[in-house]
Amino acid sequence: MIADAAERLRRAKHIAVLTGAGVSAESGIPTFRGEGGLWRQFRAEDLATPEAFGRDPRLVWEWYDWRRQKVAACRPNPAHHALAALESRGGEFLLITQNIDDLHRKAGSRRLVELHGNIWRVRCVAEGAVSELPDVPLREIPPRCACGSLLRPDIVWFGEMLPAEPLDRAFRAAESCDLFLVAGTSALVQPAASLPLLAKQRGATVIEVNPEPTPISPLVDISLQGKAGEILPALVAALGPTP
């Protein structure tokens, strides 16, 4: 299966990749729906919403401060490095991630869109200005803008629209790629989960990497059951030296 997947990857002229929390699992970051995906007695869907933030910005920021501390202690794993190596082989390439942990960028990925934002960026609720807030732990909770208004994470919460530019780039890549690789996502969250289906409809070869079956597993061309940190490096190694 790896050899077949590598052969299709080698022949591809335009590669698009979609990643989810599973590619950061081996870096030590809990996935949303796996074990450890909880915080205190809350679920992500309860806290990652504008309503939760409106009701209790302190509680939501305590959760993000906890996640920022976790993420700050984590490093990219071989899955992230394999995808950066795949990009560096050249050709049309776009890495589309649902993850907000910045680990793809830290691993060297540059042709990258973050559909759900980035845990290190914040946005003033009044002015909309976006800035980096690297403090770990946060010095004040909730953090405030110089204008005195609340800062919120520059992250897409459930029920919020995704940023237009990254979403547009992701859909265009899914429509025009000839190979779509999807790794480490439960394929439950929309609109990201529709990208592999769109690629399939447009005639691309779809390869899935996940230890568990997902709702798109029956539709993909090749399903590689296993950990991204093991399968992606093996896949890229099987490509042989960069042409």
Beta-sheet strands, E only, within 49-161:
92-97, 112-114, 117-124, 130-132, 151-155
Contact 209, 236 (CB under 8 A): no
Region near ligand BV8 per CB under 6 A, out of 5-13, 87-95, 134-142, 177-185: 177-185
State how far the Cα of 223 lies from the Cα of 215, in Å rounded to an integer: 12
Q: What residues from 34 to 53 belong to the interface with ligand BV8 (CB under 6 A)?
A: 34, 37, 48
User: What is the phi/psi pair of residue 55, to 5°?
Assistant: -75, -45
Residue with tokens 């992230």: 80
Least distance (Å) from ligand BV8 to the CB of residue 79?
A: 7
Q: Which residue of 68, 80, 105, 116 would you call a contact of ligand BV8, by CB under 6 A?
A: 116
Q: Is the Cβ of residue 49 or residue 176 nearer to ligand BV8 in the bound state?
A: 49
Q: Which is the catalytic residue, given 80, 81, 104, 116?
A: 116
Least distance (Å) from ligand BV8 to the CB of residue 154?
A: 10
In the residue annotation, 80 being an active-site residue is answered as no
State how far the Cα of 112 lies from the Cα of 82, in Å rounded to an integer: 14
Least distance (Å) from ligand BV8 to the CB of residue 166?
A: 12
Please count the other Cβ atoms lying within 10 Å of the Cβ belonging to residue 13: 10
The residues that touch ligand BV8, with contacts defined as CB under 6 A, are 20-23, 25-26, 31-34, 37, 48, 98-100, 116, 155-161, 183-186, 188-191, 209-212, 214, 227-229
Q: Which amino acids are annotated catalytic?
A: 116
